[in-house]
Amino acid sequence: MMRFMKYTKFFILTLCVLLQVSVSHGSDKKETKPLDLNVAILPYLSYSPFFIALDEGFFEEQGLRIKVFKFARSPEVVPALAQGRLDVAGSFMSVSLLNAIARGANIKLVACRSFIDPQGCTYAGLLARRSLVESGDLNNPTQLKGRRIAINEATIEGYLVEKLLKRVDLSLNDIKHGDLPPPTAFAAFEKGSIDLAAESEPWITRTIKAGHVLLWMPMNEVVPDFQFAFLMYGPTLLKKNSEAGKRFMVAYLKALKQLDQGKTDRNLEILSKHTKLDRKLLMEVCWPPFRKNGQIKVESVVEFQSWAVEKGYMEKTVAIEKIWDPSFIEYANQVLK
């Protein structure tokens, strides 16, 4: 009888422990309910870390559920971010972005998305009509005067081209310029209606393959180490839920470390899936360089602003602390040590 009572007590105690564990696990599930984030992701190589973080489950590891938003045009992203319809987005350096921040938009740059690596391959550059180069009509920057160049003057494209022009005492006023998307520029080269265009990969490789153009000036030679693309947070992650912003950054930097491994089979598989570029082309093109610690070169933002004010695109410069918030990458780098 005593033995029966002993086993009965043991059974009851074991059952209580199991019930406690079950309840505990149930409460854990409530605490770790995924946080939903609205993120702008476009099918371009500069979004490679986003693709990797999605496919490798890095966001899920951080308790995040990503809802992807696609935009037809990049300029639409900044207003959506400022209004809180987006939480995270990428952007190139532009006057419209800086003017939005200057007007009080609660947007900040929080990490590197891409820069011009002085030691790397050519991700961005000026393409020129092959016939101009081969005839000797475009041997040096002095011959850019009066040329028709496809650029958006109030963006990083205008800044980069004018940096080159200034070397020979020219400015954007000395060329004919207009904004053309890559497919349109491709056709314009074929017709001979433009002389040069500022392009990035994969359009550089694709256009050169068509035979009408040559890579005339790599941007590595014009503005080495220049920071031209960023990861941005909107008001939700900057003010309302900075914890989610920290988690997103951990996943993002983890993806950057994987991307830093280069053109591995896995990275090729992921990028091909999201960009719709075949693996052969991905092996040929230059991939955008990233700083794997997420740091940006602040001097680039300062220089671009000074240029924009000088051109009359901005009324005045904005203090860098209103533009750049390094706290998220500082946190993520500490976590990933």
DSSP string of 19-38?
A: HHHHHHHHHHHHHTPPEEEE
Angle at 133 between CA 127 and CA 135, to 5 degrees: 155
DSSP 151-182: --TTBHHHHHHHHHHHTTT--GGGSEEE---H
Q: Are strands 176-178 and 64-69 parallel, antiparallel or unpaired?
A: unpaired
DSSP 245-288: HHHHHHHHHHHHHHHTT-S-HHHHHHHHHHH---HHHHHHSPPP
How many C-beta atoms surround the C-beta of residue 10 within 10 A?
10
What CATH number has the domain spanning 124-221? 3.40.190.10
Q: Are 98 and 305 in contact (CB under 8 A)?
A: yes
How many C-beta atoms surround the C-beta of residue 222 within 10 A?
19
Q: Are strands 176-178 and 148-150 parallel, antiparallel or unpaired?
A: parallel
> 132's torsion region: left (phi>0), alpha (psi -120 to 50) or beta?
alpha
CA distance 55 to 178: 38
- Predicted local distance difference test score (pLDDT) of residue 20: 47
- Predicted local distance difference test score (pLDDT) of residue 74: 67
Q: Are 79 and 217 in contact (CB under 8 A)?
A: no
- Going from N- to C-terminal start, the domains of the chain cover 35-116+226-335, 124-221
- Predicted local distance difference test score (pLDDT) of residue 23: 39
pLDDT in tens, the chain (337 residues): 444 444 444 444 444 444 444 433 433 334 457 899 999 999 999 999 999 999 999 999 999 999 999 876 667 899 999 999 999 999 999 999 999 999 999 999 999 999 999 999 999 999 999 999 999 999 999 999 999 999 988 888 999 999 999 999 999 999 998 888 878 888 889 888 999 999 999 999 999 998 989 999 999 999 999 999 999 999 999 999 999 999 999 999 999 999 999 999 999 999 999 999 999 999 999 999 999 999 999 999 999 999 999 999 999 999 999 999 999 999 999 999 8
- Predicted local distance difference test score (pLDDT) of residue 64: 97
Q: How far is CA 9 from CA 1, 2, 58, in A?
A: 12, 11, 46
User: Does the CA dihedral 86-88-92-98 come out positive or negative?
Assistant: positive
- Predicted local distance difference test score (pLDDT) of residue 73: 67
Q: How far is CA 118 from CA 15, 33, 74, in A?
A: 66, 44, 26
Q: Write b or e for each residue in 68-78: b if 16 or more Cβ atoms lie within 10 A of its Cβ, otherwise e.
A: ebeeeebeebb
Same CATH topology for 35-116+226-335 and 124-221: the answer is yes
CA distance 74 to 44: 11
CA distance 290 to 43: 17
pTM of structure:
0.87
Pick the CATH number of 35-116+226-335 from 2.30.42.10, 3.40.190.10, 3.40.140.10, 3.40.50.720: 3.40.190.10
* Helix H or strand E segment including 208: helix 203-210
What are the phi and psi torsion angles at 104 (to 5°)? 105, 5
